[in-house]
Structure 1
Amino acid sequence: MKHAVIFDMDGTLFRTDLILKLALDETFEHLRKNGEWDGPTPIDEYRKIMGVPLPVVWKTLLPQHDEQTREEVDAYFLRRLIKNIQNGNGALYTGVLELFEQLNHRGYPVFIASNGLVAYLQAIVTHYELDHWITETYSIQQIDTLDKGDLVAEIVNKYELQDGFVVGDRLSDIMAARANGLTSIGCRFDFAQEVELKEADYVVNHLSDILDIVSKKTTSL
């Protein structure tokens, strides 16, 4: 397999912002009822670290809580995220399905490499019927290092990729591309930060811009 396009999920394909506050509010309300939290939901703190693995999220948001409590909160939050997806409270970014169809039509396999957990990613893929276009979905949960560069390496090695692209909105996506000798495409979407996007090989404002980059880059190789 010569070329492939590897996508991040949250803030790149899926509008996580539409369910994030709902699920986080539900989770911290649960903590308040149990006497384990006092104060507003730390949504702004979460937005700042959006894209990191969930264990890092809870260490950041709940620094005074023990590991068992964090694991319980993680499980509760995951259930609320999935329920909100199933209830149709989320959405894909405009142009996702059209881009997938065009990439498949032109012979570019599509993969997902995400810091999201397996059950969460599967809920999105199932709800929006993305399996029709996606070759395989990879979760950070599948590797011990919690490093997205290592996760992308799993795809590169399994499918013997000679070249390809990593598309995402955060520095972890850009660095994962660099670590594996792939081209990075940064998405200037909801959670993106300009200082991180400066590290990308290309930056897009809309998913519709990606096909042209992929086509031109692969034609010149």
Structure 2
Amino acid sequence: MSSPQAMIFDMDGTLFQTETLLIPAYHRVFDRLREEGLYEGPTPPEERILSSLGMLLEDIWNRVMPDASLEAKKRADVLLLEEELSGLLQGDSKLYPEVANTLQQLHAQGIKLFVASNGLERYVQGVADAHGITPWFDGLYSAGGYQTETKVDLVRILMKEHQLEHAWMIGDRSSDVEAGKKNGLTVVGCMYAGFGDNQELDGADHFINHFADLFVLAASHSAGK
């Protein structure tokens, strides 16, 4: 594994402690859906949406509330973004420990940094802006912004637009492993989020238990190239 020209990060479960923003927003969404007559019954278990992180929104709602109407699912898209953007303004959400410092160090080393997320464009941008990490990135790519059906396609677009020849894909879900492998990238699996099962990161080239381990990993391969 050679020193990377660039690093491409998933957002949820990799940079961002999603549950700190998502869980309060999730409950407010279902409160509003019930108020609007689009959903009946109790809010589905939190585990359903947490285990769906990394999926496209359409797939998330099909998993969270499979029997709900299409109207309810589309409305949930709108409401979740509203509630999450509102939550970001309140300042209660968190990055994982050492994310900001590590990104700053990697950027200072001349490594190009990107985000590739299956989330909506305003959400991805909003998280980065709210936590002050936007200046260290060369690009924030989202499925919502590029209308891609898979993260494989999103990363392919990113690589082409920035003429990248070798990069690391860093994430916590099987979609990150797939996106990296199908684009010929080295994959670093993040073990600290705990949203997926034990098989999520099968096929990753390396694993980290803390985000700061990434800087050590990059430095060791830079020294060994």
2: CA distance, partners of 1:70 / 1:215 = 45
TM-aligned CA deviation for residue 147 of structure 1: 0.4
Structure 2 counterpart of 1:139, from 134, 139, 142:
142
Shift of 1:6: 0.4
**1:65 Cα shift?**
2.5
Q: Which residue of 1 aligns with 2:5?
A: 3
TM-score normalised to structure 1 length: 0.93
User: Is 79-88 or 59-68 further displaced after alignment?
Assistant: 59-68
After TM superposition, the structure 1 stretch with the greater mean CA deviation from structure 2, 112-121 or 65-74, is 65-74
**Which of 88, 93, 96 matches 1:93?**
96
Partner of 1:158: 161
In structure 2, the residue matched to 1:18 is: 20
* 2:223 aligned with 1:204: no
Question: Contact 1:114–1:140 at 8 Å: present in 2 too?
Answer: yes
- Give the aligned length: 220
How many Å separate the matches in 2 of 1:145 and 1:104? 27
C-alpha displacement of 1:218 = 4.6
CA contact (8 A) 2:33 2:72 kept: no
Residue aligned with 1:113, SS: strand
Q: Which residue of 2 aligns with 1:115?
A: 118
Answer yes or no: is the 8 Å Cα contact 1:28–1:37 preserved in 2. no
The answer for the alignment partner of 2:71 in structure 1 is 68
Q: Is the 8 A contact 1:86 1:123 kept in 2?
A: no
Instruction: Identify the residue that residue 38 of structure 1 maps to in structure 2.
Output: 41
What's the % identity of the aligned pairs? Answer: 31
What corresponds to 1:102 in structure 2?
105
* Alpha-carbon distance in structure 1 between the residues aligned to 2:44 and 2:113: 36
**Cα deviation, residue 141, structure 1:** 1.3
The CA deviation string for residues 97-136 of structure 1, in whole angstroms up to 9 with x for no partner, is 1111111111101000001100111111211222210111
Q: Residue 87 of structure 2 aligns with which residue?
A: 84
C-alpha distance in structure 1 between counterparts of 2:163 and 2:83, whole Å: 37
* Residues 177-210 of structure 1: per-residue CA shift (max 9 Å, x gap): 1011111011112224321223211110001111
- CA root-mean-square deviation: 1.6
Gapped runs of 5+ residues in structure 1? none
**Where do 5+ consecutive residues of structure 2 fail to align?**
none
Question: Amino acid of the residue matched to residue 8 of structure 1?
Answer: D
CA contact (8 A) 2:44 2:65 kept: no
Q: Which of 56, 60, 80 is residue 57 of structure 1 equivalent to?
A: 60
Separation in structure 2 between the aligned mates of residue 103 and residue 211 of structure 1, nearest angstrom: 7
